[in-house]
Structure 1
Amino acid sequence: MKKVVGFLTIALVALTVASAQPMYEQRLANEPVQANIAVMAGPTGFSSVALSFDEGKINDSVVANLTVYPSPNEVIARLANGELDFACLPTNVAANMYNKGVKVKIAAVVGNGMLSVLCSDGSVSDYTGLLGKSVNIPDVGSTPDQLAKLLLMKAGLEAGKDVVLDYSVASPIQIAQMLIAGKISLAMLPQPFVSMVMAKNPKIKIVADIQELYSKVAGVDNYPMSVFVVTDKFVQAYPLATQSILDAYKASVAWVNANPAEAGQAIEKIGIMKAALATPAIPYCNLVYVSSQEAKPQVQAYFKSLYSFSPASIGGSMPSDDLYL
């Protein structure tokens, strides 16, 4: 009798566990997937802002947790340790991470080039007048720095000799303020600072469109300045949620481009940038959504260009096709 009771007890426990497991899995399945997404404080993050609407609810199955960071460094660390699932990053930063073994994939290009060389005093009228001049560049290793060196190399010129690249002021906003005040003559800046300085000081003119010059030397229309990346881990665990996030991002880009005033307010609300700066710049920021497979030729051309003068700028080698989702 004791053996029978023992057997029945074990059987009952087994049945309870067996029935509880599907219930537990069903409960998990009913909970929305939480996607942790990082964007930069600046134009790199503009196109993502609609992901913050409705407290990040993409649909009944997916919630986007959008966080704004001041620079890529913290984002890189959090992607590497698994705290983040998606991020908007400068394109070469994505290549660097991949080459250093961080398991990420480019899901889409979300921003094309938006750099210009500006002159505050009329001393230069076009890019040919830059020979022998000093141009303020925001920070060594930044995208403006890389593009300046690349274009000089392609033109057979030498940075520091034929054109001096001045890094004495690292912050784009400080360079913009000095340009407005006429304290510096020439600077390369991205949007929204280009729009800002030209609105504040009508004497300031664009003397070189970096996108146009890049197109001439690279043979492609533009360069991919920023990308949306996703971790391999998230893609493998949640393929449907991944697609939902990408669809929502594509819709966000379209909404921002179509509604710059409302987008500017939303951009300020989540801490990316003040609306007064963002709104007038949005039409000139080249915000796009191009899937990684469609954008691959342009991305690879950009990496090849960067690699030709500075392999370290993309992590030492050309990334393989595995980088692209």
Structure 2
Amino acid sequence: MKRFVSIFCIVLIASFSLTAQAVAETPAASALDIQFGVMAGPTGFSSVALSLNEGRIADNLKVTMSVFPSPNEVIARLANGELDFASLPTNVAANLYNKGVKVKLAAVIGNGMLSVLSSDGSVASVQDLLGRTVHVPGAGSTPDQMSQLLLQKAGLVAGKDVILDYSVAAPAQLAQLVIAGKVSLAVLPQPFVSMVLGRSPNAREVVDVQALYSQLSGVPTYPMSVLVVSESFAKNHPLALAAVLKAYEESVAWVNADPKAAGLAIEAAGIMASAMATPAIPSCNLVFVPSQEAKNEVQAYFTFLHGFSPASIGGTIPSEDLYL
């Protein structure tokens, strides 16, 4: 019996030692690598602080940021599960939802930043636009959607009361034509508004689109860009989700507080040249409003867009299930 007990104790001690050694040799859990997609241009400005410190936002969380030239590439990667988060135009988020892509709208990250510019200052008010041609960068773009929406709200007819010209699709090219005086009137977003006003002594802002939207719709502002998260990430990584949202809110605050440093980071990330980004940041309306707080403004915007172009948001107004 004594011999049996001795053997049992030896086996028990040996087993404990082997287990302890195995635990000691097991590597610490690696950092969760979060895939984050942004678009080149102002939609990606507010995210840039997440790319600092090699993307490490916590000891066990790393953000890998990828910059894409158009929404289509971001959409494709969200749809096939390559991205966990993305910064997108608001109507694109609605289209994704209506196509069955499992995403949640986490926050509004940018309100309106559009203006109607006159190259020579000959147009001074909205009334002066009647009968005139206004160049818009790209049919179906956000500037186009807002132009048509505001004309409708004002009781005017596009193509009759105001002519919308889509012959120059690229905002950068259109901005250069306004600076050169070759285009008289144009709807442009930031940072091209700041670029035109900074380089042309004759150019003037005719319409602050945000102020006109508020006046005609009764809604304080419209959400131009949003942060979305894949439904699976939100479900499987609730603590990481909270950490990313906190880091994003801090990123927005940092970009707004220090445009010069942010501009350098924006250029380093491949989002836009700092020479264009830095002067535009104060006018970009970068915000961080959690989706539940922004829901009324977002739903109002979707409702207005659906009223004149259901296809612009994917056919139907998203339900409250869209919101995180």
* TM-score, length-scaled by structure 2: 0.92
Aligned to 2:60: 61
Structure 2: distance between partners of 1:165 and 1:37:
35
Which structure 1 segments of 5+ residues have no match?
1-14
- Note the alpha carbon deviations across 1:129-153, whole angstroms, 9 max, x for none: 1111111101011100000000011
Provide the residue aligned with 2:87 in structure 1: 88
Counterpart of 2:123 in structure 1 is: 124
The whole-number CA distance in structure 1 between the counterparts of 2:23 and 2:304 is 54
Q: How far 1:122 moved relative to its partner?
A: 2.4
2:248 corresponds to: 249
CA contact (8 A) 2:153 2:217 kept: no
Does residue 75 of structure 1 match 2:92? no
Name the counterpart of 2:275. 276
Unaligned runs of 5+ in 2: 1-14
Report the counterpart of residue 289 of structure 1 in structure 2: 288
Alignment-derived partner of residue 106 in structure 2: 107
Question: C-alpha displacement at 1:23, in angstroms?
Answer: 5.9
- Match in the other structure for 1:236: 235
Counterpart in the other structure of 1:259: 258
> In structure 1, what is the equivalent of residue 173 of structure 2?
174
AA in 1 matched with 2:175: A
Letter in 1 for 2:322: L
Question: What is the correspondence of 1:191-230 to structure 2 with a 5 Å cutoff?
Answer: 191-230=190-229
CA distance in 1, matches of 2:277, 2:249: 19
Task: Summarize deviations over 1:122-173 as a string: whole Å, max 9, x none.
Answer: 2211111111111110101110000000001111111111111100000000
CA distance in 1, matches of 2:61, 2:204: 46
TM-superposed deviation, 1:69: 0.5
SS at match of 1:63: strand
- 1:151 maps to 150
Q: Residue in 1 aligned with 2:132? A: 133
| Number of aligned residue pairs | 306
- After TM superposition, the structure 1 = structure 2 runs for residues 183-198 of structure 1, keeping only pairs within 5 Å, are 183-198=182-197
Report the Cα distance in structure 2 between the residues aligned to 1:65 and 1:140, rounded to whole angstroms.
Answer: 32
Give, in whole Å, the separation in 1 of the partners of 2:155 and 2:23. Answer: 68
Separation in 1, partners of 2:120, 2:253: 37
RMSD: 1.7
What letter corresponds to residue 317 of structure 2 in structure 1?
A: M
Could you say what secondary structure the match of 1:318 adopts? coil
Report if aligned partners of 1:61, 1:241 keep a CA contact under 8 Å in 2.
no
Q: What is the identity percentage for the equivalent residue pairs of Structure 1 and Structure 2?
A: 64
| Counterpart Cα distance in 2 of 1:217 and 1:201 | 30
The 2-side partners of 1:284 and 1:175 are apart by 19
> Matched residues in 2 for 1:50 and 1:128: separation?
42
Q: Which runs of 4+ in 1 moved over 4 A?
A: none
Matched letter for residue 238 of structure 2:
P
CA contact (8 A) 1:215 1:221 kept: yes
TM-score by length of 1: 0.91
- C-alpha distance in structure 2 between counterparts of 1:32 and 1:209, whole Å: 45
In 2, Cα distance between equivalents of 1:112 and 1:48: 15
For 1:106 and 1:114, the matched residues in 2 are separated by 20
Query: What's the CA shift for 1:286?
Result: 0.1
Give the letter for the 1:289 counterpart.
F
Contact 1:52/1:65 (8 A) holds in 2: yes
How far 1:216 sits from its partner (Å)?
1.1
Equivalent residue of 2:206, what SS?
A: strand
1:176-227, Cα deviation, whole Å (9 max, x unpaired): 0000000010000001100000110011000011001100122121100000
Shift of 1:234: 0.7
CA contact (8 A) 2:120 2:202 kept: yes
Counterparts of 1:23 and 1:159, CA distance in 2:
70
Q: Which residue of 1 aligns with 2:32?
A: 33
How much does 1:31 deviate? 1.5
Matched residue of 1:30: which SS? coil
The CA distance in 2 between the partners of 1:183 and 1:255, in whole Å, is 38
Contact 1:52 1:64 in 2 (8 A): yes
Amino acid corresponding to residue 90 of structure 1 in structure 2: P
**Secondary structure of the residue that 2:201 maps to in structure 1?**
coil
Structure-2 separation of matches of 1:253 and 1:129: 37
